[in-house]
Structure 1
Amino acid sequence: MRRIGRRDIVVAILIALLAGAIVTSAPFQMLQGLSLDILTAMRGKLVGERREPATSPVVVVAIDGETYDTPPFKGSPTQTWTREIGRVLGSITEGGAKVIGFDVIFPSSIEQSEIPFGDMSVGSRMKGFDRDYLIALRQISDSGKLVLGEILSIDHAEVPYRAQQVAVRNTIRALNVYTDPDDVIRRMPLSFAIEGRSVPAMAVELAARALGAKPEIAPSGATELSGYAIPSAMPNTMTLNFRGLGRDVPTFSFADLRACVEKGDRDFFRRAFDGKVVLLGTVLNFEDRKLTSMRLSGGYDGTPAARCALPAPERGAQRPRSDVAGVFVHATVVRNLIERDAVTELGFPARSILTIAFALVIACAAGMLAPSGALIAWLGLTAVYAAMAVGAFVHALALPLTEPALASLAALAMMIGYRFVLADRDERFLRKSFALYLAPEVINTMVASGKMPALGGEMRNVTMFFSDLSGFSSIAETMTPGELVTLMNEYLSAMTDIIEGHGGYVDKYIGDSIVAMFGAPADDPAHARNAVHAALECHRKLAKLNADNPAFAGHGLSHRIGLNSGEAVVGNIGSRRRFNYTVMSDTVNVASRLEGANKYYGTAIMASETTMAQTGDTFAWRELDAIRVMGRGEAIRVFEPLAERGAESAEQTKVAAAYAEGLACWRAREFRKAVEAFDGAAKIDPPSSMFAERAKALTANPPPPEWTPVNTLEGK
């Protein structure tokens, strides 16, 4: 995971603001409606929320295909149906309906027909045809239970013919709908300004009469109905909640109801319509179809209600459609108002803040993660947010869905682009620069640390690692060039893998020698510990190669390793046209001298006191001596790592104890006792054998009083 800096956070905020501002702007207004469509579909698919049609406060009387195919309506123009409509409406009113609304408009009457019929017009011969119908309208209207519909329009208004207007005393309300720019109905107007006064829409009027209340404007500006503040994201509109996808509205065929009137079954009308709001409308496959928020999920033209007189027509299973009959849109408004179940949408400020916040989270994730990881994070967070949005929509709260998803996706793309063009230039440069001579895991650690090596060099605390094969020149003389190359490649590959596996950086190869450092270029607080681990493992690996690898057979290779910790200058050092990432300081020189000092003591690994101290109690050590290396006047205490603490063998422990006793006697000028202590392990321990010889020499020829127990090495 990449560490995100202050500049990255500022950029992420700016990107989130830009993405959020774009997707919530006017050109993308359709996204708000698309969110409602998706939420409606997801709620219907995941939650279901099927409701019993019998509990619906509103029912639909459908002038449907069955009506057109059933006598006496078959083959007759709709203007001739008015008398039968009046009879059915009368029975519905007697059945206890609270109010009846017309979603059909009869703009003309058969009595107005001027088509010649004999020596007179059809209208003249049909005078009085609508009398019973108009009387029925007057009676129902006088009881306050009838509202006719009209379409308001500047160009082509559609209103009931004049006799109907008089019959209902102008109790007429608008059926106009509110369509979004994509021609989808998601909201409905609450009122219309007619002749300077606010008049409720048809559905609002029906709900108000059913509740026995009048719409009022609250101090907040919201429209209230019977104490219910109607939520309105857009002024004077209500967002529709298609909770049952239309299947929760019982639908009666007008043909069956007309036959029921003929049958005289008043009980059926009481069972079907008592206490209900009734909407009369056309339900056909080709007329008055509306696209709504159910267009993605599919809606239904109600649920067929109980039959009274006619047998149910044969039909297949009802299938969802992208459009529904317009009467069910008004039925949904009525039910939402009565049940106080309209959708609450967030206003523009809240929607924008939520969108920007979501985009900011994704932008920050894109700043920290790899592109694939950021994409997975976007998918996961979007899925979680969508689940939360569906949960909120179950309770009629519509959270923005498409805006946060698209804004965050745009923020993801922009943040990845920013990283590629600007933020990750240093990282790409670093990876390219070190790819061929630094372990990938070391590069990853260095990048994750956020600390890049300064060009030209910087002071770092490091541990230097020098190794060299013992007597390799004489061995090489006995080998062919091909054998020598194979052997060196095997050896250097094995040692390099171990060094890099412990976080080290191989600076260079000098013939059979390896120069490496720990603690740079990547920060490594445990660089001394890792260097010692690598040295011990390299020693074990060489023994394994000698035993198992055919290229090493018969050569018995051994190597010497020197370790020293301290401050050093590391960086890109060289000429302006060519440079290497390397290290320079006295720390480097001392490590080189310690590698060579091994041959004086017969040891494989020698470390300085600073390296030993920085490893804590991780390893078991023995102090070898205090030495003065060539080119350095100050004495250095040197140590040999035996094994990890607790992993040393009994023999190593015994030899180390004897050696420590002998070294103490040596430094106390008790050379005879030193000889006795060193002789105990001289046969199996080269350093003890070397010290035993030195102690014997000083026993025979004691040193002068100014003698100090420091071994000055003459060579490298």
Structure 2
Amino acid sequence: MNIGRKTRDAIAFAAIVLVCAAVSVSPVFNIAHGLSIDILTALRWEMYGRRLDPAASPAVVVAIDEETYQAPPFKGSPLPTWTGEIGRVLGAIVEGGTKVVGFDIVFEKSIEQSEIPFGGGLFGEKVRGFDRDYLRALATASVGGKVVLGEVLRGDQPIRPSQGQRIAVRQSQNIRALNVYTDPDDIVRRLPLTFTVDGKPVPSMALELASRALDAKPELRADGTVALTGYRIPGAVRGTMTLNFEGGADDIPTYSLADLTACAAKGDKDFFRRQFEGKVVILGTVLASEDRQRTSKRFHTGIEGARAPRCALAEAPVNARFNRRDIAGVYIHATAVNNLIGRDAAVELGRLPIALIAALFAAFAALIARTLRPATAVLTFLVAIGIYLIGATAAFNHALVLPLSEPLIAGFAALAAMVGYRFMITDKDRRLLQKSFALYLAPDVIDRMLASNKLPVLGGETRHVTVFFSDLEGFSLIAETMSPEALMALMNEYLSEMTDIIEGHGGYVDKYIGDSIVAVFGAPADDPDHASNALRAALDCCARLEELNRSAAAFGGSKVAQRIGINSGDALVGNFGSRRRFNYSVMSDAVNLASRLEGANKFYGTTVIASETTVALTGETFAWRELDTIRVKGRNNQLKIYQLLALAAELTPAQAAVTADYARGLAHWRAGEFALAEKCFEQAAETDRPSRMFLERARIYAQQAPSGEWDPVRTLQEK
């Protein structure tokens, strides 16, 4: 079954769009999906900077940081021995009015459980009661639901707080999981909302802290979604929320445990009230080598440090010299708490909307690849990507995640596929048409026809052009002395070389008439320098013909000369002919005059003659000799004609001298001073045919003046 070209192209277009969109959302590229969030997080930071004031952050962090390890009483002491100081800080924070305190660190073992022999017994027995203050602080805080300990679920071997801590916080009532969700590329972009423990759904640490801060229980709905105070928490992966990280650092106020310990020791209750009242406090490690996670803010992490207001210790310098791509795990839970309380968790689109966006990008890319040149199409698509990135970043500033990887993959794939289709199928027809019709029509005319998808029609337009008319001198005599085959070889060589030069200067060969060439400059393509380009083409044609006379085998030793006439003016250019058959051509009196000027070369013995109109358009770029004032056959108006000698910069002294003598002689001739004209013309009469021609006439008129009123205008009777 034969199908039309338009139908074939439409089917190919639809297939490319659908296949590229489907491939972009296939599991093969799932690993690239999360990159959209990472890029948008970085772009939003660059475009909008910080969105929220850190002081307004619902969650704050108490950091076990490098400063804590170097400050007394912690310096030189193992972490399990810090429980007493942590308990005092916990009590001060709770007394200061915190909503709830969560532990992103698990004290799995107690020093009281040590079975190392010491002093005739076990070390644990010797320090029995060491954790008493810490356990009392936990028990006191748990009464009002002010503390949540963390655990890490690992199948049947979870990492849990020590038994005494679990009892102090009333077992699972105040213990929640700290596990995070890692994407296939090992990046944390999402956080679980619930976990199944003993067959029941239990909120995660972040959800538990947020719900206690809002004094509301989370709603675990049948469809697997979770709501908090009516806020349906969005999540692209079932049971999780997509984190909406700020870029940079300092978005979560961070306090050093060392400073808070000193503050609690001096009893500054006002500081704890000012900093922690109404806040969600998360205690965790902020170290360079412990509990580090790469997240969707990896391209703009900032330098971490405890930069919140200080209470007792002098501000310590931040121990970091560069931005790392990972962050402390405690900030993941703090960000989740802020997202839940602020109701701005990132909203990801579903598979179908993403596929539709990818299909739109693929359709746009295929369309521009179908209608524009490949380089232009790529540039246009890159501009479209830039605009889309700006829009997607603006949307992400309102927590909406528009896909980036899928549209880009689909778009570039469609762009490449359509370019390949054009090259293999569509443009094959176009190239054949251009190659074939370029032998008959101007390339610009063919391009217009292909661009419009319309056949040419009769009609034209008036354009200011320069007409180039050339002819071979003595062609009939040459043809008589050569065989048809040799004559054809000579003409093909001559016409090919002259045509290449004319087209190389922007001209269009209208037609060949035997050995004559009719060309036009300034149409069909616009050319503001059409007159100058026609003259340069004439000079190059003359130079090339001299080379052909010397070296071309097809010329067979024949010395061929040419005559060229050039004229500028308004002309009608377009398609002329019958309704069934026509040519792109040029038509006007300017064309006829160019033909007459070509013939005038025969009378004056010159090679290139141009009209005064052409000379006026070219300025001082060319060297001219004013030949005469004439009337041509078929015209009553007189006109000045000029011989083209060379480019102005290439005029020889001998040519300049002949031109000067000729100009003086021509002035005397026009004034009727024939004797004086005779003296001027005889200076170059032996080598210059125009001078010799005027000399002969000047001598005649010097001896016998013409009768009647003197008319210096010459009328040429031959075409």
Match of 1:407 in 2: 410
Of the candidates 312, 323, 348, which is equivalent to residue 345 of structure 1? 348
TM superposition shift of 1:48: 0.9
Q: Deviations over 1:171-207 (max 9, x none)?
A: 1000000000011000111001111111000000000
Matched, 1:140 2:141: yes
Q: Distance in 1 between matches of 2:292 and 2:607?
A: 94
Q: Which residue of 2 aligns with 1:47?
A: 48
- The reply to whether residue 541 of structure 1 matches residue 544 of structure 2 is no
- Whole-Å Cα distance in 2 between the matches of residues 486 and 424 of structure 1? 31
* Matching residue of 2:63: 62
1:206 equivalenced with 2:209 (yes/no) = yes
Q: Which moved more, 1:55-64 or 1:293-302?
A: 293-302
Distance in 1 of aligned mates of 2:40 and 2:601: 68
The equivalent of 1:215 in structure 2 is: 218
Q: Superposition pairs for residues 520-535 of structure 1, below 5 Å?
A: 526-528=574-576, 533-534=586-587
Deviates more, 1:142-151 or 1:533-542: 533-542
Deviation of 1:49 (Å): 2.3
Q: Do the aligned partners of 2:458 and 2:576 also contact (CA within 8 Å) in 1?
A: no
- Please give the alpha-carbon distance, in whole angstroms, between the structure 1 residues aligned to 2:596 and 2:280: 95
Q: Kindly indicate whether the alpha-carbon contact (under 8 Å) linking 2:361 and 2:407 is maintained by their aligned counterparts in 1.
A: yes
Q: Aligned partners of 1:491 and 1:69: how far apart in 2?
A: 89
- Picking from 414, 418, 435, the partner of 2:421 is 418
Query: Is the Cα–Cα contact under 8 Å of residues 287 and 328 in structure 2 kept in the other structure?
Result: yes
Paired position in structure 1 for 2:275: 272
**Distance (whole Å) between structure 2 residues aligned to residue 505 and residue 155 of structure 1:** 91
Identity across aligned pairs (percent)? 46
Aligned twin of 1:21: 22
Q: CA deviation at 1:163?
A: 1.1
Q: 1:110-130: per-residue Cα shift (whole Å, max 9, x none)?
A: 010011112111111111111
Unaligned runs of 5+ in 1: 454-459, 559-600, 605-682, 688-716
Partner of 1:74: 75
Counterpart CA distance in 2 for 1:359 and 1:137 is: 58
Matched ranges for 1:100-499 at <5 A: 100-154=101-155, 156-170=157-171, 171-218=174-221, 221-301=224-304, 304-315=307-318, 319-435=322-438, 438-450=441-453, 493=499
Q: 1:557 to 1:357 in 2, by over 3 A?
A: closer
Q: How has the CA–CA distance of structure 1 residues 362 and 10 changed in structure 2, closer, same or farther, with 3 Å as cutoff?
A: same
**Any gaps of 5 or more consecutive residues in structure 2?**
461-468, 525-571, 578-582, 612-631, 636-713
How many Å apart are 1:302 and its aligned residue?
Answer: 5.8
Report how far residue 471 of structure 1 moved. 10
Q: Which moved more, 1:14-23 or 1:548-557?
A: 548-557
TM-score normalized with structure 1 length: 0.69
SS in 2 for 1:59: strand
- Cα distance change, pair 548–30 in 1 and its aligned pair in 2 (3 A): farther
Q: How does 1:560-579 map to 2 (within 5 A)?
A: none
1:511 aligned to which of 490, 509, 515:
515
Shift of 1:447: 2.5
Contact 1:50 1:244 in 2 (8 A): no
Structure 2 SS opposite 1:154: coil
- Aligned-residue Cα RMSD (Å) equals 4.1
SS at match of 1:424: helix
547 and 343 in structure 1: CA distance in 2 versus 1, 3 angstrom threshold: farther
CA distance in 2, matches of 1:351, 1:206: 33
Letter in 1 for 2:45: G
Alpha carbons 1:151, 1:176 under 8 Å: kept: yes
| Matched residue SS, 2:63 | strand
What is the rounded CA distance, in whole Å, between the counterparts of 1:435 and 1:273 in structure 2?
82
SS of residue matched to 1:304: coil
Length, aligned pairs only: 548
Q: Deviations over 1:75-116 (max 9, x none)?
A: 111111111111110000001100000000011100100111
The 2-side partners of 1:52 and 1:496 are apart by 72
CA distance in 2, matches of 1:120, 1:494: 109
Q: Which amino acid aligns with 2:348?
A: E
* Cα distance, 1:223 vs structure 2: 1.3
> 1:290 & 1:400 partners in 2: Cα distance?
23
Q: Which amino acid aligns with 1:23?
A: S
State yes or no: 1:31 paired with 2:32: yes
CA distance 1:515–1:50, shift in 2 (3 Å): closer
Give the CA deviation at 1:378.
1.0
Residue 114 of structure 2 contacts residue 123 of structure 2 at CA under 8 Å; is this kept in 1? yes
Within 1, Cα distance between the matches of 2:85 and 2:202?
30
1:350 partner SS: helix
Amino acid paired to 2:340: L
Counterpart Cα distance in 1 of 2:78 and 2:195: 32
Deviation at 1:246, TM superposition (A): 4.0
Cα distance in structure 2, aligned partners of 1:388 and 1:379: 14
| Displacement after TM superposition at 1:550 (Å) | 13
1:584-663 mapped onto 2 (5 Å cutoff): none
Seen in structure 2, the aligned counterparts of structure 1 residues 267 and 426 have a Cα distance that, compared at 3 Å, is same
1:312-363 residue CA offsets vs partner (Å, 9 max, x unmatched): 2234677432000000000000000011111111001101111111111111
Contact 2:224 2:238 (C-alpha < 8 Å) held by counterparts: no
SS of the counterpart of 1:63?
strand
For 1:137, what is the secondary structure of its paired residue?
helix
Residue identity matched to 1:359:
A
Q: Retained in 2: the 8 A contact 1:16–1:359?
A: yes
CA 1:235 to 1:525, structure 2 compared with 1: closer, same or farther past 3 Å? farther
Distance 2:227 2:602 in 1: 91
Contact 2:573 / 2:585 at 8 angstroms: preserved in 1? Answer: no
Partner of 1:619 in structure 2?
A: none
Write the mapping of 1:632-711 to structure 2, written as runs, cut at 5 A: none
Q: Secondary structure at the match of 2:191?
A: strand
1:382-411 deviations in Å (ceiling 9; x for gaps): 111111101101111000012111210111
Distance in 1 between residues matched to 2:393 and 2:605, nearest whole Å: 69
CA contact (8 A) 2:103 2:284 kept: yes
The answer (yes or no) to whether the contact 1:546–1:553 under 8 Å persists in 2 is no
Whether 2:87 is the aligned partner of 1:86: answer yes
Deviations 1:438-459 (A, max 9, x none): 4321231232243689xxxxxx
